[in-house]
Amino acid sequence: MIKILIVDDEKPICDLIEMNLSTGGYQCSACQDGVTALKRIDGESFDLILLDIMLPGVDGYDIMEYIRPLGIPVIFITAKHEVKDRVKGLRLGADDYLVKPFDVVELMARVEAVLRRYNKTEHLLTAGDVTVDVEAHKVTKRGRIIELTNKEFGLLVLFIRNKNVALFRETLYEKVWEGEYTGDSRTLDLHVQRLRRKLGWESRLTAVYKVGYRLEVPQ
């Protein structure tokens, strides 16, 4: 399982990130200061580090200097939004830079993108009795192959990677259809309806009023 370390001095932010990443199938741990973060990095192996800059003890820039020779991918997550801060973070070796406040779906997408870059992605995704082999582009339910179109497959992967998270129609459309959402949801709704039928997810893939859809999976 992919191991992610979250370093942020605000515990509610750590808890929010950890909850969503854990739901997405990642193994997460968190700490709130730079000294503890360095001890964790020394003593454990991580596939990705989400790192705040303004930390007590040792700041994120100094931690980044320490991490760089280790080859662990890093995403800065910080309230420091000026261009000079982004440039400094990226030049120090961070793989991405996300400014607070952020959308959880965007964070998930950035995490997935960095892990793909390092060939650390999970190839098998599961939700209940449904298994998705992302590399083979194959979906099975209780061992039986389910035939999906490319768009249905893209939606399914997005839903499973964001279990129990309400996804906006705009987000679903723009990520799967790779175009700007115009407000006409008929195409998206039809694809979701077909996905429900094919997987028997009429009660699991639920509509969220004025938002979009959510895949409900028991914790």
pLDDT at res. 122: 67
Give 68's DSSP letter: G
To 5 degrees, how large is the angle CA 92–CA 95–CA 99? 90
Class of domain 124-215: mainly alpha
What is the torsional sign of CA 4, 110, 108, 203? negative
pLDDT at res. 219: 66
Quote the CA–CA distance of 167 and 84 in Å, as a whole number: 32
Quote the CA–CA distance of 89 and 209 in Å, as a whole number: 39
pLDDT at res. 142: 86
Quote the CA–CA distance of 152 and 101 in Å, as a whole number: 31
Can you say how many angstroms the Cα of residue 18 is from the centroid of all Cα atoms in its chain?
Answer: 10
For tokens 């991580």, name the residue.
46
Write down the domain spans for the chain.
Answer: 3-117, 124-215
pLDDT at res. 72: 93
pLDDT at res. 104: 86
pLDDT at res. 136: 84
pLDDT at res. 152: 95
In the CATH scheme, what architecture does the domain 3-117 have?
Answer: 3-Layer(aba) Sandwich (3.40)
Q: Prior bond to 56 cis, omega within 30?
A: no
Cα distances from 127 to residues 98, 179, 203, in angstroms, run 28, 27, 14
Q: How confident is the chain (219 residues) per 10-residue block, as mean pLDDT?
A: 92 91 85 95 93 93 92 92 88 92 87 86 81 88 92 93 88 86 87 96 93 88
Q: What string of DSSP letters covers 84-116?
A: HHHHHHHHTT-SEEEESS--HHHHHHHHHHHHH
Quote the CA–CA distance of 185 and 202 in Å, as a whole number: 19
pLDDT at res. 61: 93
